[in-house]
Structure 1
């Protein structure tokens, strides 16, 4: 008997011939066998696509945060090769941490029962999980990146620490999401992934300060203990198996994000101060004092390996010797002295649309924060971009979990209430967008105000957001509709970004006119 897919059907041909029948090209049952093969192929393709979607859901949040962190380094961008290495090292740090996490309860005899009591849960959360994961991140950051000559600025700790955290979060997310499904992926996208990323930023903050401090051990210890406390508190609540634990988890994540953004802003000021400082120094060996160096020159020389942190400098206006390490440490926490206000760089509208589509709309939070930050730094506004972004997150994401808890456990679900709630959430998003655009429009000149359709853009954003939220999941071509609506929403932000780019271009031209040298004086 012939083996393979067509084996039974070909056997029927042999039987036909034995009975004296004329041979046929297609044996009996071939149609059913082909349908079976098609069904098998369709099932395989469906499973493959489902796995790819889960993989995308697992990978996208960590990469999106990593891109945000990388582009935050405005004054001295890090080499992409080392940034990618940091991300990979963070991903590899998952495996030794997993080994320790599995061994810890076995050593204590708690295998399968580490969360039977509250005190076991706390011990395992802090010393079995948080200590293992944060220590692995710390080790990989300290061992493979800390001593690199490209780590030449305190803000670099934010970048590389964030990359380690994002890599760790992405690898861990793949393991959880691919096996657990979409609900876990969405929940971790809002909790565990940002928590790992911003724990990495906090760790990098202390490491960035420690490298340029005469007593680094104290700061390194403070950084490790801080992230272990944050991580352990998060895991203690997450492992408690309480029905309401999601609410304190969101609170812990928001606190961690706030601390990370605050640390980022402090070292960002340091990096900006180094970029624009006019103070000049001479190398101690340069007795002739022929080559004055600004802080920016020193930073570039550190990256190129021409100077070391232990090299001694002498300021132009004094004779007090100071090492580069001590000089860098003295700049931390000081306000930058900018020579001239510089408008932020242009962010192409097409890139906004692409990022919005790739992140399924979550890029809105980064775009929202960046625009507030740009206007705060350039116009010297008394606003807090991080606080406003956290408010946007709190009022547009957390209510969905509260709503699900109410209608999932206590109150029967009502479709009309669901539609009303989703439209209300779309309205909240539109209100936050309106407040931002109203502030932006206030800085436009008269021609720009006339060309800027603020009301129409907010209305379109609200309408498309409402349609996205009430779109039934069982509708035909659901993903096609979803992607189309995402592109429409991203298009609204892209139009706003185009008007912003025109505004910043005009500001740049006006700045160039004010600092351009005038005609020579006539004698």
Structure 2
């Protein structure tokens, strides 16, 4: 960890725009383009594969039903990501990676294993329980986790800590679960009709829409911890640690479905507590983000970039609600301007955190800080206009 200098003094200290809380950037652009194009192309191949195996009409029905758990998961991810929103391109890449590339990797490995077994033992069939408990967790979590690791590698300025890792991992997992649900729903309809489809939807769409999110979240949180501790090669160790936890959780889940005599009882005694624990951990991580934002913006406030009331406005949930209410009440409304000020100030706080931990090589964080300070000043001026 390096010792960062205090923020530069504002040559024109910010006047107090509010006497109390008001009442009632370009990193990773090339990676984004290339990654989204490649993942999109792989997605087309996966769609063609599913259409060939299931038929067009069955694929459409499965896709429509798979949108229901997907919407639930993405709404939860959006709630987690509200404090410091991640760039849209990174979220699109994570989703497409999970929905297309990770699925393609899993399918290729599965075909390879089946061919190897057929060659080694002609006429033999793979052990489905072994595939569910060993092969699927190891291959699927590795495939999804690589996507999260790529976002860290190519866009470190947008990967500030465990919450960011959780958001990216959950988005990738949501994409993977969506495609997997399309396959399962389509296969259930083709093999057993409406009754089989209904039972499959209850299990996957109602009882376990967050299953893949819980698994892959271990990887994202671990990479985020590594990023906050300084990044570098040490992140690989954190990635492997998170991968091990994800594989074990995934294997536990699949094993409970494959071997348990009372799957429903096991679901409520094991899986539900794990889910509730994950919710509690997410809330604690979000509170940590709030504390970091408040501490770092207070430093800029002491240097004249914000008034004391503005720090409270920008760095507390209550202050942000009051700020948005004030912006909506103006004529004309200034909601978009206020939202931009809040976003830029939050990014500024986490850029300051990167400076304090010495995470960025060279002068990247210092350049980002300079750009964001200019953006904050412009946001303030626009709000006053």
User: What is the TM-score of this pair, normalised by structure 2?
Assistant: 0.56
Verify: 1:226 aligned to 2:234, yes or no. no
Tell me which of 222, 229, 234 is aligned to 1:206.
222
CA displacement at 1:62 relative to structure 2: 1.8
1:434 alignment counterpart: none
Verify: 1:69 aligned to 2:77, yes or no. yes
Asked if 2 retains the 8 angstrom alpha-carbon contact of 1:105 and 1:114, the reply is no
By relative contact order (CA 8 Å, sep 6+), the higher-ranking structure is: 2
Asked if 2 retains the 8 angstrom alpha-carbon contact of 1:101 and 1:132, the reply is no
Output the CA distance in 1 between the equivalents of 2:152 and 2:75.
Answer: 19
Give the aligned CA root-mean-square deviation in angstroms: 3.5
CA displacement at 1:57 relative to structure 2: 1.6
2:366 alignment counterpart: none
CA displacement at 1:275 relative to structure 2: 2.4
Asked if 2 retains the 8 angstrom alpha-carbon contact of 1:51 and 1:178, the reply is yes
1:104 alignment counterpart: 113
Higher helix share: 2
CA displacement at 1:153 relative to structure 2: 4.2
Q: 1:144 to 1:277 in 2, by over 3 A?
A: closer
Tell me which of 201, 216, 235 is aligned to 1:216.
235
Structure 1 residues without counterparts, runs of 5 or longer: 1-46, 116-120, 283-288, 314-321, 326-523
Structure 2 residues without counterparts, runs of 5 or longer: 1-54, 189-196, 316-343, 361-385
Structure 2 residue matching 1:266: 3-state secondary structure: helix
Output the CA distance in 1 between the equivalents of 2:165 and 2:145.
Answer: 11
Verify: 1:163 aligned to 2:181, yes or no. no
CA displacement at 1:80 relative to structure 2: 3.1
Output the CA distance in 2 between the equivalents of 1:144 and 1:301.
Answer: 20
Asked if 2 retains the 8 angstrom alpha-carbon contact of 1:207 and 1:220, the reply is yes
Give CA deviations for 1:64-112 in whole Å, capped at 9, x if unaligned.
2112211222321223343233212110111101222333354355752
Aligned length: 254
CA displacement at 1:203 relative to structure 2: 2.4
Q: 1:51 to 1:87 in 2, by over 3 A?
A: closer
Q: 1:104 to 1:239 in 2, by over 3 A?
A: farther
CA displacement at 1:162 relative to structure 2: 0.8
Verify: 1:239 aligned to 2:286, yes or no. no
1:300 alignment counterpart: 347
2:291 alignment counterpart: 273
Output the CA distance in 1 between the equivalents of 2:103 and 2:59.
Answer: 21
1:83 alignment counterpart: 91
Q: 1:49 to 1:132 in 2, by over 3 A?
A: closer
Structure 1 residue matching 2:158: 3-state secondary structure: coil
CA displacement at 1:129 relative to structure 2: 0.9
